Structure 1
Amino acid sequence: MTTSVSPAPEGRETWTSNRGFILAAIGSAVGLGNIWRFPGVAYEGGGGAFLVPYLIALVTAGIPILFLDYAVGHRFRAAAPLAFRRMWRKAEALGWFQTAILFVISTYYAVIIAWSLSYFYFSFGTKWGDDAKTFFLSDYLKVGDPGVSTELVGGVAWPLIAVWGLIIVILALGVTKGVEKLNVIGLPLLVLGFAALVIKALTLPGASDGLNALFTPDWGALTDLNVWIAAYSQIFFSMSIAFGIMISYASFQRRKANMTSSGLVVGFANSSFEILAGIGVFSTLGFLAHQQGVGVGDLEGITGPTLSFITFPAVISQMPGATLFGALFFGSLAIAGFTSLISLVLGVSVAFQEKFGLSKTTAAVTVGVVSAIVSFALFATTTGLIALDTVDQFANNIGIVVSAIAMCVIAVWLGRTIETLRGHLNAVSTFKVGKWWIPVIGLYAPIFLGIMLIQKVYDLVQNGYEGYPTWYVGVFGWGTVAFLVAFAVVFTAIRWGGRDDSTFAPWPPLDSSATTAAAAGKEAVR
């Protein structure tokens, strides 16, 4: 049953109920990557056999690191910078590194939502015509060569204004009246709309061919290390873990909040939606292959923006009920993107609220306006697609992985707070976290993530990225990594506005195992 808003004694908002928190967390996790990334990764990773490393990755990395996010956020009741500072004073820089990741991703994520809104409108009349690729790249985005352009694309700019305007309004309304209500309304709409799309896709001629292509297992793929890395990457990037989102969301939970049970619901709900997305996408691709008289494996563009804005429009043009199918697909993309975007921007906004003592409205407007300016300047121009692709590659595959490794190492080896965090989770939750959690966080996760990181860095250094000019990859790729580090250094060095961390004090210890955390929470922030 939904209860009234119950602010913390100092005035900090909380979710109105555990249901509200779970819906918001699922809304953050279920995003664009669930729809356009998982199906292609699963297909290329052995089809049905891919579910084996995928589920292992969920249990050994996804859920354990989600628990770590929840523990840090809920125990220390703050966004990433202040939460990490309370946990271990020297860890504040990691919090700002995560905040920088949120800022960077939000600036281009908003642009993809603007594309989705445009294509929702284009669905009424299938305005992309018979050549969806030319329409997307040339007519709509007006894509130029890699470089720096100041020419705004009107079809992107107008919906982008609406996206950022709505984001600012929702954040200004706060966690309960804004963010929670968005997810309480948006997530059921997303599930209903996408479920209707999947049911429609399953009735198309050739749908069974697509499902066979997706789920027929290639057991030999399990001997390929790259398949396992792909499985861990998918779990990692789709669950919104280790870069500040879930820390912020958990910080608004009430004291007795059953955190681990909520985490299990969020983790498995996210994976369930990914499998649903795979069924819908590959049923549709089976129809396209049937129409073209080719095998599903001969199709191009089965993942990423190409799938959503080129392949799917081409499919929609050839199917009965094209308008309804198109509206459901692009409407689902927009909703999935928006519930994720709000979590990204909230993490940045709350971090600045706490650092500078700002009101939620001032922080929302400031962060929203600055983010919108960057969105327009870099990603709403004729070179925006290429910039988006490059920045996304480096922010996700290097930035987030570095963040996760650092978070695990700090919690277990440097700050030595992992037992405190485990004790806190067990004190507030019905599902108890055993000793197994510590070696998973302290050894298994950072070692495997380290292998992922080394492999990706080596590949980018040796081969560049997508054939783009070296200078371009240096500026927009490695420059993104440099920005994340610089952002962390600068904002860590800034004083805390004359406040101390008693303004939003950590929860008092709930059992004896939380003594260390209580001591950490008393340390003043200077």
Structure 2
Amino acid sequence: MTDTTTTDAGRRGAFTSRRVFILAAIGSAVGLGNIWRFPYVAYENGGGAFLLPYLVALLTAGIPFLLLDYALGHRARGSAPLSFARTDRRTEWIGWWQVGICFAIAVYYAAVIAWAVRYTGFSLTTAWGEDPEGFLFGSFLQAGDPGVSLDVVPGVLVPLAVVWLVVLGIMALGVQKGIGTTAVVFIPVLVLAFLALVVQALLLPGAGAGLDALFSPNWSALAQTSVWAAAFGQIFFSLSVGFGIMITYSSYVGRREDMTGSGLVVGFSNSGFELLAGIGVFAALGFMAQANGVAVDEVASSGLGLAFVAFPAIIGEAPLGALLGVLFFGSLVFAGITSLVSVIEVVVSAVRDKFEMTRVGATVAVVVPSALVSLVFFSTTSGVYVLDIVDRFVNQYGILLAAIASMLVLAWVSRALTPLAAHLNRTGSVRVGRWWVWLVAAVTPAALTVVLVQELVTDLTTPYEGYPGWMLGLFGWGVAGAVIVLGVLASFVRWRKDTPLTIPEPDDKTTEVTR
């Protein structure tokens, strides 16, 4: 019998150890959303009381779905489309849907990293002056009214091109030398930098007021379904599940590795970093509130407003503000790069599997077009508006919808959950049973459907952020729908003749090799 596992590992590449895989998975999960989204979501949804639904969501949805992704990739030994195809040929289109989602995310995610690169330097001179918001949308992004413009912003174009060159180099080096080494270096540096930021933030006057605002429990909030929906949505988006990353990464792990134990480490590490981010961010916001003689809720924000408006204002007034700025924006850069690499790897891996391309060839074929699209749309004066719309709709109606579809199809059409559970139990230190099957088949998709329906009602009744309908149609609904259509069309392209579309037989004597 041909040792297909060894052959695939040599051709596709592999992580050299479980430690490297875990760091790479953590690098993917820990991204910009952990730093600028979780603190505000927790604050808005019951403060300290939010930690209860958050923990419930982690245990009943986040980790179970993470293990589903692990089982798919580790058992099928392929990219997202190949793993779905090997599990059930009828589901291949879901894998390509996830590839399309990753492409869409990559082209705008790189732009935010480029902004963080520039703001790391701006922190040294507080270039934003007395008006961080005016500086962001005026001098820096040169944003006019919402619309589409081809006027290039050099201050964004150059760092964005540099980000893509860095990504190109990392991806071309391969799974272990590129992705693995980046994770091994960047994740410890990220943790140390953010720990230093948290310590400095805790020493600021007013830090205690910020922490009180974040952690003071509002127990009555637990009676609101929206709070529980927010918890499930936060866990889901922060773990990098549902759009092919963890399927792809787990396919690079040795056959005998403990996938369930790895899932628990990644899940709790991601949540631990989110909690750390909450402490650092709200300690700094407490200082800002005290310095301006206002309540914390008047300075609290999330997303771009927190990162590029609120924090620059804090840096401008805080002792050792330059150091605080370098640590904060440097953390955004490190977290962003490890996440962007994981997103683009989903596309590279799928192209390699489908078209039998070399690592370098597939990297160039994917990264160069991604960079060009990114530079054309997101280095212009309209880039921030396009980014905001694509981010909203691809997350809500791409990642969320694809995840629900994958769970329901695998559970009720393919009947694949039982063999996937058996695979996890072969080497897993934590056994999964019927409880896992029912969580993935019913509880998790039901909870995420509630989140999706709430967001859908909001977007149908109120135009997102007041943007023109044509922009929402083109860059919002249009992009979200296009990745589904392209996913279906890509599934009709034939695999190369020597690609087995059956689950590779496990071989305990297999030795994983890398290239």
**Normalising TM by the smaller chain, what interval?**
over 0.9
TM-superposed deviation, 1:469: 1.1
Question: What pairs with 1:344-363 in structure 2 (closer than 5 Å)?
Answer: 344-363=343-362
Partner of residue 513, structure 2: none
CA–CA distance in structure 2, aligned partners of residues 258 and 479 of structure 1: 41
CA–CA distance in structure 1, aligned partners of residues 261 and 496 of structure 2: 37
TM-superposed deviation, 1:7: 7.3
Question: What pairs with 1:146-295 in structure 2 (closer than 5 Å)?
Answer: 146-295=146-295
TM-superposed deviation, 1:10: 5.1
Describe the SS at the equivalent of 2:390.
Answer: helix
CA–CA distance in structure 2, aligned partners of residues 486 and 146 of structure 1: 27
CA–CA distance in structure 2, aligned partners of residues 126 and 9 of structure 1: 49
TM-superposed deviation, 1:398: 1.3
Partner of residue 45, structure 1: 45
8 Å Cα contact 2:87-2:503 kept in structure 1: no
CA–CA distance in structure 2, aligned partners of residues 419 and 123 of structure 1: 53
Partner of residue 519, structure 1: none
TM-superposed deviation, 1:123: 1.2
Describe the SS at the equivalent of 1:61.
Answer: helix
CA–CA distance in structure 2, aligned partners of residues 201 and 409 of structure 1: 44
Q: Does 1:100 align with 2:97?
A: no
CA–CA distance in structure 2, aligned partners of residues 500 and 307 of structure 1: 47
CA–CA distance in structure 2, aligned partners of residues 52 and 315 of structure 1: 30
CA–CA distance in structure 2, aligned partners of residues 309 and 7 of structure 1: 47
CA–CA distance in structure 1, aligned partners of residues 503 and 199 of structure 2: 47
Partner of residue 16, structure 1: 16
The unaligned stretches of length 5 or more in structure 1 are 1-5, 512-526
Query: Percent identity of the aligned residues?
Result: 49
Partner of residue 122, structure 2: 122
Query: For structure 1, which segment, 195-204 or 438-447, has the greater mean C-alpha deviation from structure 2 after superposition?
Result: 438-447
C-alpha distance after superposition, 1:12-32 (max 9, x if no partner)? 322111000000000000000
| Superposition TM-score, scaled by structure 1 size | 0.94
8 Å Cα contact 2:42-2:50 kept in structure 1: yes
Task: Give the paired residue count.
Answer: 503
Partner of residue 490, structure 2: 491
Describe the SS at the equivalent of 1:439.
Answer: helix
C-alpha distance after superposition, 1:464-495 (max 9, x if no partner)? 21111111111111011121112112211222
Q: Does 1:110 align with 2:85?
A: no
Partner of residue 398, structure 1: 397
CA–CA distance in structure 1, aligned partners of residues 299 and 374 of structure 2: 32
C-alpha distance after superposition, 1:23-53 (max 9, x if no partner)? 0000000000000000000000010000011
Partner of residue 327, structure 2: 328
Distance 1:52 1:303, change over 3 A: same
Code of the aligned partner of 1:439: W
Runs of 4+ in 1 over 3 A off after TM superposition: 6-12
Question: What pairs with 1:448-487 in structure 2 (closer than 5 Å)?
Answer: 448-487=447-486
Partner of residue 3, structure 2: none
Distance 1:165 1:311, change over 3 A: same
8 Å Cα contact 2:75-2:503 kept in structure 1: yes
CA–CA distance in structure 2, aligned partners of residues 97 and 159 of structure 1: 30
Q: Does 1:442 align with 2:446?
A: no
Code of the aligned partner of 2:121: Y
Question: What pairs with 1:30-69 in structure 2 (closer than 5 Å)?
Answer: 30-69=30-69
CA–CA distance in structure 1, aligned partners of residues 247 and 369 of structure 2: 23
8 Å Cα contact 1:8-1:14 kept in structure 2: no
Q: Does 1:88 align with 2:80?
A: no
CA–CA distance in structure 2, aligned partners of residues 178 and 10 of structure 1: 15
Code of the aligned partner of 1:481: A
8 Å Cα contact 1:65-1:441 kept in structure 2: yes
C-alpha distance after superposition, 1:372-410 (max 9, x if no partner)? 111112222111111111111110111111111111112
The unaligned stretches of length 5 or more in structure 2 are 1-5, 509-515
8 Å Cα contact 2:9-2:252 kept in structure 1: no
CA–CA distance in structure 1, aligned partners of residues 12 and 427 of structure 2: 19
8 Å Cα contact 1:427-1:510 kept in structure 2: no
Describe the SS at the equivalent of 1:347.
Answer: helix
TM-superposed deviation, 1:501: 2.5
Describe the SS at the equivalent of 1:124.
Answer: helix
RMSD over aligned CA atoms reads 1.4
| Superposition TM-score, scaled by structure 2 size | 0.96
Code of the aligned partner of 1:422: A
Partner of residue 508, structure 1: 505
CA–CA distance in structure 2, aligned partners of residues 350 and 311 of structure 1: 38
CA–CA distance in structure 2, aligned partners of residues 390 and 270 of structure 1: 26
Q: Does 1:371 align with 2:370?
A: yes
Distance 1:7 1:48, change over 3 A: farther
CA–CA distance in structure 2, aligned partners of residues 472 and 267 of structure 1: 36
